[in-house]
Amino acid sequence: MLLQISLSAQPLYRPPLDIPLLLSGTFAELRSDHFHSGVDFRTQGVEGHKVFAIEDGYVSRIAVTPGGFGKAIYIDHPATGHTSVYAHLQRFHGKVADYVKGEQYKAQSFTVNLIPETGSFQVKKGEIIGFSGNSGSSGGPHLHFEIRDSRSQWPLNPAHFGFPIQDNIRPSITKLTVYPANFESRVNGRAKMQLYEVQGTGENHYLRDKVEIKARGAISFGLSTFDMHNGTPNKNGVYAVELFVDGVRQFHFTADRFSFDETRHINSLIDYPYLKKHHSRLIRTAKDPLNKLSMAGYGSNEGVLIVSDTALHQALFRVTDHFGNISLLPFTIRGSTTDREPNTVAGNTSDSLIRVQAGHPKEIRNNALQVSIPDDAFYRDELLIFGTKAGSSAYLSDIYTLGDNTIPVHKAITIAIKPKQSGLGKKLMMAMIGDDNKPVYAGNTVEPDGRISARVRNLGSFAIIADSIPPTIKPLNFTDQAKIDELKQLRLEIDDRLSGIADYKPSLNGAWLLMDYDPKNKLLVYAFDERLKKGKNRFELRVTDKCGNSTVFIADLEY
């Protein structure tokens, strides 16, 4: 039976914005290492639009972080059992704004996670709760909006709640891939993945040149697809993908709800190596042994089709967007008994390869290196390249290679390397060495035996280096001894070229000062308030990196 999408006929909630609702991101959209937990509403390219409570309720949580959701407010709605979430805000409104600022000063921290006493901040439907912005890891001004089940905190698809969003555009399908599922399988006589470009639109999608796929043995599939909406150029995610072969559903993915505990399993759903090589995501039909996705169903053969005859099989991908528009990709598979390409995949006979079984822990140890791989680090069995080579004089250890960045890591792997030089303590850090040979900070925990360790979720090459260079501080709109009576804020750029910023401590006239931190723009901002006194003021800022190097900036200012 084909999937039936159910949309609310009448709006249950009022919109969170009073401007036209245009989507730049959809629910469960495929993102880096996670599924998108809500929808993104465009805000006309600017910040500062009023954000409204969608229903009566009370503020249950307020969070402020430099990354992630930035400034976010959570409202529980007891009458419906839902929690609404409004993220990347520019600022909060009214009593909530005053409360947050007071708590930040109590904690002497820009970053706070606040759980107000139940019911202490009651809100009414349509009440202003904040203003749209670009805070946290947002890539541009917009409102990230969620509806969650209050009990489980599982995100729910907001498209099911009747918000006034116009969409009569069918999804697009751009690529089909077919994978041999084991060493004996073949696709078009080949022992490796075959990619087909897809042409057409709507119900008229088809493989370029309308080719017939020839296959033998166990095969699986991958699909590249996106959706667009009226009035916006964004290529967004789809609601559902289904695969039928000879009328039987072999696979389905449906974006209704999910748990945050499973969100990283996106790397098992997609073709992760293809993503790393081509910067494009393909939804795979095959199920990995440690895949725990609730949004996907894999049929009796775990999303794999067994072709054991020479008959012609009718296949169909059916893609549905969040508002009921449907696109189809029919194609044919001909069973084949002909092998054109022999299997050349090598077994695990080389000591430079390490086999890791999914569901089993693995330890790698020598005099200088320790690697601890937990049992749920990988979704399936993996064969990891392992090697050692001498580094340049800039490195304080050999360079160790463990796998590569095309292998997804679910649970963090601990790597510990013994430096060749002792006594540097926290100045040492483990670096991941990219293809451009530039080191990237991975961690710098000092173990009792002197090793430097890090927990990593990316594989590649690692080595120990020292970071003795302090961060930089650059005032952007003032200087020491400046008159600032015509300004409304102080703005500074802070940066660290190696290990990264760990902490910053601003003060005004000897007292801790609240400053907004925007890491993506390397920006610290103090908005003038009652703490700035008429006359002379002393501003001081200390910035410390992850290896303990500090820089201090002091300015005497006239206001």
Residue 480 sits in which domain range? 472-558
The predicted model scores a pTM of: 0.93
Do residue 30 and residue 157 come from a single domain?
Answer: yes
Q: What whole-number distance in Å separates Cα of residue 216 and Cα of residue 337?
A: 6
Per residue in 380-432, pLDDT (tens digit) is 999 999 999 998 888 999 999 999 999 999 999 999 999 998 777 789 999 99
What average pLDDT score do residues 109-136 get? 97
Do residue 331 and residue 186 come from a single domain?
Answer: yes
Per residue in 13-63, pLDDT (tens digit) is 999 999 999 999 999 999 999 999 999 999 999 999 999 999 999 999 999
| Token representation of residue 537 | 């003021």
Do residue 524 and residue 552 come from a single domain?
Answer: yes
235 Cβ partners below 8 Å, 6+ apart?
172, 226, 227, 228
Last residue of a domain, one of 131, 161, 191: 161
Do residue 440 and residue 495 come from a single domain?
Answer: no
Give the chain's domain count: 4
From residue 280, alpha-carbon distances to 174, 175, 328 in Å are: 11, 10, 21
pLDDT score for 491:
98
What average pLDDT score do residues 452-464 get? 97
Confidence band, pLDDT 50/70/90 cuts, at residue 5: very low
In CATH, what number is assigned to the domain containing residue 517?
Answer: 2.60.40.1220
Strands 296-297 and 305-307: unpaired
Do residue 203 and residue 320 come from a single domain?
Answer: yes
Of 111, 145, 110, nearest to 130 by C-alpha is: 145
Confidence band, pLDDT 50/70/90 cuts, at residue 8: very low
Do residue 402 and residue 488 come from a single domain?
Answer: no
pLDDT score for 342:
67
Q: What whole-number distance in Å separates Cα of residue 319 and Cα of residue 325?
A: 8
In CATH, what number is assigned to the domain containing residue 88?
Answer: 2.70.70.10
In CATH, what number is assigned to the domain containing residue 446?
Answer: 2.60.220.30
Do residue 187 and residue 329 come from a single domain?
Answer: yes
Let me know if 127 is exposed, middle or buried by CB neighbors in 10 A (0-12, 13-18, 19+). Answer: middle
Q: What whole-number distance in Å separates Cα of residue 532 and Cα of residue 374?
A: 52
Do residue 554 and residue 414 come from a single domain?
Answer: no
> Which amino acid is present at 466?
A
Do residue 213 and residue 240 come from a single domain?
Answer: yes
Helix (H, G, I), strand (E, B) or coil at 91: strand
Do residue 190 and residue 312 come from a single domain?
Answer: yes
Do residue 487 and residue 550 come from a single domain?
Answer: yes
**16 lies in some domain:** no
pLDDT score for 209:
87
